[in-house]
Amino acid sequence: MALNNYANLKTAIANFLARDDLTTEIDDFIDLTEADFNRRLRIRAMENVDTAFTIDSETEALPTGFLQVRSFIITSASPDKALQLMTPFHQANTQGINNSGTPRVYSVEGTNFRFSPVPDTAQTARLSFYKAFDAIDSTTTTNHILTSHPDVYLYGALYFASTFIRGMDQGTVVQFKTQYESAIKQVEDADDLDKYNGTPLIQRSGININNFDNVD
């Protein structure tokens, strides 16, 4: 049986546990696995870009599934201006923070971005960020992790199940945890290999893209 969708994953988890009485709980084990790998993974499949993020007030809502900013650049200014991240405390205590103008800094407060100075006109930004993988269920039956790395889901759910089931042999708990950690590590290693494998990585600044043909 291929672990390529939500229903097959639930069946496989029940089979590995040799239990047919945990239908509801298996959903919880899957949810816990998703929460854990979304906290830990930062891979290319999680990268999203909004090229037309609008900043027209002091606060703007975080994108759906937002985890972490990669870059934040105002593109409606000339030249483009990279926004700098501040903690809410330092932002609130920075001189001139309540002035109006083109935002220069931002913080993340709860479910919002907060910008300073407060924009005096609407700005457009390019927001690159890490987004959580969609949770799987009977409607959204798969996602990148389940399609490409089903062992993450399987061993994660088995590990969380083993901590729930009373009387589970501790050796089995450790085994499931080890297999889950190994699966997570393999995802990270594969992503690093894809990022950096191939032609030499150019690390110099100030390179003119028009001269790339001349770079040895």
pLDDT in tens, 135-157: 999 999 999 999 999 999 999 99
Helices (H), 41-169: 88-92, 144-148, 150-164
- Based on the structure, what is the number of domains in the chain? 2
pLDDT in tens, 158-199: 999 999 999 999 999 999 999 999 999 999 999 998 877 766
In a domain, 153, yes or no: yes
Q: Give the confidence band of 93 by pLDDT, cuts at 50, 70, 90.
A: confident
Whether 97 and 118 map to the same domain: the answer is yes
Listed residues 113, 131, 149: the one ending a domain: 131
Whether 67 and 125 map to the same domain: the answer is yes
Whether 61 and 119 map to the same domain: the answer is yes
- SS3 of residue 28 by DSSP: helix
Sequence-ordered list of residues with C-beta below 8 angstroms from that of 123, at least 6 positions apart, any chain = 54, 55, 56, 74, 76, 77, 102, 103
Q: Beta strand 81-82 with 118-119: parallel, antiparallel or unpaired?
A: unpaired
For residue 75, what is the DSSP state?
A: -
User: What range defines the domain where residue 80 resides?
Assistant: 48-131
In a domain, 216, yes or no: no
Joined tokens for residue 65: 């599934």
